[in-house]
Amino acid sequence: MAALPLYPVSVNVGGKKRKVADAATFEREYDRIITADIAKTITEQKFDDVFVNWQGVMLGNGQVWINGICPANDCTKAKVGIVTVQD
């Protein structure tokens, strides 16, 4: 799971908003970031029910957002991953 976010990833869980800088921190704090409700949102998401706009792909009611970034100006390659996790 720690390989899926684009770091730094925005996390807003339990009223605490912050950025998680790297995969090691995400793994260490996994149980505090991916709560039971967030895990349920991810595992029960139906493809037909995802919401998509200019901000990315929303899972559930906004608990997880997925988006892409272009590392280079020409944007010939994009990285896609989780950009926000919130409860």
Per residue in 61-80, pLDDT (tens digit) is 999 999 999 988 898 999 99
Q: What is the pLDDT of residue 40?
A: 97
The full DSSP string for 11-62 is EEETTEEEEE-SHHHHHHTHHHHS-HHHHHHHHH--GGG-EEETTEEEETTT
For the segment 37-53, the average pLDDT, to the nearest whole number, is 96
Per residue in 4-44, pLDDT (tens digit) is 999 999 999 999 999 999 999 999 999 999 999 999 999 99
Boundaries of every domain in the chain: 5-86
Q: What is the pLDDT of residue 36?
A: 96
Q: What is the pLDDT of residue 29?
A: 95
DSSP-assigned beta bridge partners for residue 53: 56
